């Protein structure tokens, strides 16, 4: 058995190797791509479980690529935060891969399947790489790998997806260029690219204009990738028109990996001290998040296209995460609510997108006005959707409830009562748009009944991942309430110097 | 005054060029309606970043009076006043150029597909056609 220190690099290397294998195997069998990809991601997921266990029991894993010591070589660092996000990313990728089997057969031409799965695997490689790396420039490279694969995969749906993908590409490339500039500024004053080393070298240079400029560039650049409120314009189209499995993976795994990158750069490289002293943006983040929560929900109500509605709901939910980030310094909860919602939102939104895409797969239904009677025709898919929607609204003991509870507690402790009101208001708006869908699905009966659509349940490979996520929404919610993972969150907070109230 | 200008503008002309290029690229990406022109803007922007990085590694005092050489250790060791250019930003930008080329390739492929689909690469016209499609369905 390999020593566990090698696992972080294996997660990335095996995935990259598998991407090439899929392309080569595609010459022999067009269908092999799915199986190779599924096997690889399962293996990666198992590795990530071992990594988490090791990180929790023994401590942070450091891997030096090629044996070059940091800060000269590239270092992979996996601490509790990385391991936690790695599991989220790989679990959602795994479910998206299972889900992709049937949906992709319908959406993509058979001759393009090997390339599709090559890109899919490259996307997973990029995301895993973003999460395990401890080097600023390496992070840039992996972000680009994931993004480029993402652009191509979104465009694979053809038609309107092309322009959505193009807009995403222009904004995404711009964001990554900003991030690259930020690395340049940091390198010019410190001469290092290693995150841990930067963290040590930067405090003496906090007053330096180059460092402050670097922070702004990095924040805006990564903010575009995360679709933080005013920078979200690429997001609704990309989520709406992408192929089903890709909607699932980019709205969960990719969005979470980007937010992880942002949190890592803000808290690990620049640290809380810098932000409080030289770039007091937490207040602004809070307000942007509050606007996003309201704005995203209102626009979601206005949509009839279910996928687009979910995309706008994602903007609101990124708002929830950013509110957690914004409040992190002023409460003893630290980043806990934000990191919670990272997992919670991935579970809920994954399930919702899976259900929405299953409706399109079976019945070609984009428009929720056609959903009448769907609850009786596709009972399992609709049940999964219902559970996730209830969870999103915040029915105890679901994950949505836990997030809202912690965010409200955090806002109360910080004395920011306005954000409590915002959370309640955005919850009301969520009830409006989800109730609208659920009502059409379950309650409304078309007169005569002949107008009701006639469809059968979606295939098992599309129902089961959705149901798994829907059930997990409640199980994970209970686990959060019991508080088993809270010591893990405490460890992350203390690593960032959070969790204590800074006056 | 002249000293100030020499110090901040002429001595660092490469940074100024990089900033100007960056703004030209940024302007093209935001303001141009033609999808290809946007990509040209993106390319200019990326090139400006490469110039910025390469400028970082330069150790000369400008105007070619004193400048660094390639970072090679030769037989006689390092003699007096030997300055070498930091190779790392160059290496980083090799990666950057590869990434930029890949981005541009994907983007151009997208533009080709868009042209096949809509018969135009003007953003306005594509948007109008999409609106028509929406009304039609």
pLDDT for position A503:
45
Distance CA B36, CA B32 (A): 9
Residue contact A187–B56, C-beta within 8 A = yes
Q: What are the C-alpha distances in Å from A279 to residues A56, A273, A288, B46?
A: 33, 9, 16, 27
Least confident of A43-52, A60-69, A177-186, B126-135: B126-135
Q: What is the mean pLDDT of residues A364-387?
A: 82
Residue A135: helix, strand or coil by DSSP? strand
Residue contact B114–A163, C-beta within 8 A = yes
For chain A, what are the domain ranges?
281-503
| Residue B99 in contact with partner chain A when CB distance is under 8 A | yes
Q: What ipTM does this complex have?
A: 0.91
| Residue B101 in contact with partner chain A when CB distance is under 8 A | no
Q: What are the C-alpha distances in Å from A303 to residues A311, A429, B26, B137?
A: 10, 13, 32, 16
pLDDT for position A92:
92
CA-CA-CA-CA torsion sign (A457, A462, A485, A268)? negative
For residue B136, pLDDT beyond 70: no
| Residue A443 contacts residue A431 (beta carbons within 8 Å) | no
Q: CA of B130 to nearest chain A CA: how many angstroms apart?
A: 8
User: Which domains does chain B show, CATH number per domain?
Assistant: 2-63+84-136 (1.10.287.3510)
Q: Which residue of B has its CA nearest to A140?
A: B96
Least confident of A108-117, A133-142, B44-53, B105-114: A108-117
A61-64 and A75-78 strand pairing: antiparallel
| Residue A180 in contact with partner chain B when CB distance is under 8 A | yes
Distance CA A242, CA A245 (A): 8
Of B49, B95, B110, the CB nearest to A169: B110
Q: Which residue of A has its CA nearest to B40?
A: A170
**Which residues in chain A are contacts of B120 at CB distance < 8 A?**
none
**Which residues in chain A are contacts of B127 at CB distance < 8 A?**
163
Count other Cβ atoms within 10 Å, centred on residue A489. 24
Which of A177, A186, A221, A366 is best to mutate for the B interface (most B CBs within 10 A)? A177
Query: What does the radius of gyration of chain A's CA atoms come to, in whole angstroms?
Result: 22
Burial grade of A487 (CB within 10 A; 0-12, 13-18, 19 or more): exposed
Of A137, A169, A181, the CB nearest to B106: A169
| Residue A141 in contact with partner chain B when CB distance is under 8 A | yes
| Residue A165 in contact with partner chain B when CB distance is under 8 A | yes
Q: What are the C-alpha distances in Å from A73 to residues A63, A187, A339, A405?
A: 10, 15, 30, 43
Tokens found for residue A63: 């891997």
* A139 band by pLDDT with thresholds 50, 70 and 90: very high
Provide the CA A405 distance to its chain's centre, in angstroms: 21
pLDDT tens for residues A275-327? 888 878 888 899 999 999 999 999 999 888 888 999 999 999 999 999 998 88
User: A71: cis peptide before it, omega within 30°?
Assistant: yes
pLDDT tens for residues B28-61? 998 988 999 999 999 999 999 999 998 888 776 5
Q: What is the mean pLDDT of residues A94-98?
A: 92
pLDDT for position A488:
85
């Amino acid at each position: 058995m390999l020593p566990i220190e090698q696992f972080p690099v294996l997660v990335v290397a095996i995935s990259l190797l598998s991407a090439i294998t899929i392309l080569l195997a595609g010459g022999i069998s067009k269908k092999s791509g799915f199986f190779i990809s599924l096997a690889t991601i399962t293996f990666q997921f198992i590795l990530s479980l071992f990594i988490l266990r090791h990180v929790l029991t023994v401590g942070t894993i450091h891997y030096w690529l090629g044996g070059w010591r940091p800060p000269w070589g590239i270092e992979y660092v996996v601490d509790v935060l990385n391991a936690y996000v790695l599991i989220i990313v790989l679990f959602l990728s795994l479910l998206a891969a299972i889900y992709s089997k049937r949906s992709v057969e319908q959406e993509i031409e058979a001759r393009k399947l090997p390339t599709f799965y090559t890109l899919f695997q490259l996307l997973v490689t990029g995301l895993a790489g973003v999460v395990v790396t401890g080097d600023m420039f390496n992070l840039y490279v992996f972000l680009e790998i994931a993004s480029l694969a993402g652009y191509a995969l979104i465009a694979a749906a053809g038609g309107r997806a092309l322009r959505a993908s193009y807009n995403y590409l222009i904004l995404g490339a711009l964001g990554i260029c900003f991030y690259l500039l930020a690395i340049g500024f940091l390198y010019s004053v410190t001469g290092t690219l290693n995150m841990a080393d930067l963290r040590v070298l930067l405090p003496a240079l906090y007053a330096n204009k180059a460092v402050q400029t670097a922070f702004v560039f990095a924040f805006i650049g990564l903010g575009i990738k995360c679709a933080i409120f005013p920078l979200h314009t690429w997001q609704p189209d990309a989520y709406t028109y992408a192929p089903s499995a890709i909607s699932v993976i980019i709205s969960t795994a990719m969005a979470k990996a980007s937010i992880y990158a942002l949190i890592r750069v803000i808290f690990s490289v620049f640290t809380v001290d810098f932000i409080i002293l030289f770039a007091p943006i937490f207040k602004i983040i809070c307000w942007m998040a509050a606007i996003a929560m309201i704005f995203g929900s209102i626009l979601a109500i206005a949509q009839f296209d279910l996928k687009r509605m979910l995309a706008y709901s994602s903007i609101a939910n990124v708002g929830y995460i950013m509110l957690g980030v914004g409040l992190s310094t002023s409460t003893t909860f630290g980043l806990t609510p934000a990191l919670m919602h990272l997992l919670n939102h991935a579970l809920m939104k994954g399930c919702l997108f899976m259900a929405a895409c299953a409706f399109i797969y079976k019945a070609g239904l984009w428009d929720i006005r056609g959903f009448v009677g769907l609850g009786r025709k596709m009972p399992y898919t609709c049940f999964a959707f219902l559970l996730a929607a209830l969870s999103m609204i915040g029915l105890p003991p679901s994950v949505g409830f836990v997030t809202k509870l912690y965010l409200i507690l955090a806002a109360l402790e910080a004395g920011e009562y306005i954000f409590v009101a915002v959370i309640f208001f955005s919850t009301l708006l969520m009830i409006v748009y989800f109730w609208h869908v659920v009502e059409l699905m379950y309650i409304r009966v078309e007169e005569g009944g002949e107008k009701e659509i006639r469809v059968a349940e979606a295939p098992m490979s599309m129902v089961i991942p959705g149901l798994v996520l829907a059930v997990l929404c409640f199980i994970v919610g209970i686990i959060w309430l019991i508080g088993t993972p809270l010591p893990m969150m405490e460890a992350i907070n203390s690593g960032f110097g959070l969790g204590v109230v800074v006056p | 005054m002249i000293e100030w200008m020499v110090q901040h503008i002429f001595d660092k002309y490469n940074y100024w060029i990089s900033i100007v290029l960056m703004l030209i690229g940024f302007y093209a990406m935001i303001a141009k309606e033609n999808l290809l022109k946007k990509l040209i803007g993106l390319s200019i922007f990326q090139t400006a970043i490469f110039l910025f990085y390469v400028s970082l590694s330069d150790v000369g005092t400008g105007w070619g009076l004193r400048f660094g050489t390639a970072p090679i250790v030769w037989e006689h060791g390092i003699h007096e006043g030997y300055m070498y250019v930091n190779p790392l930003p160059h290496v980083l930008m090799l990666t950057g150029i590869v990434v930029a080329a890949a981005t541009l390739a994907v983007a151009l492929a997208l533009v080709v597909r868009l042209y096949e689909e809509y018969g135009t690469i003007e953003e306005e016209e594509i948007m109008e056609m999409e609106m028509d499609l929406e009304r039609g369905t």
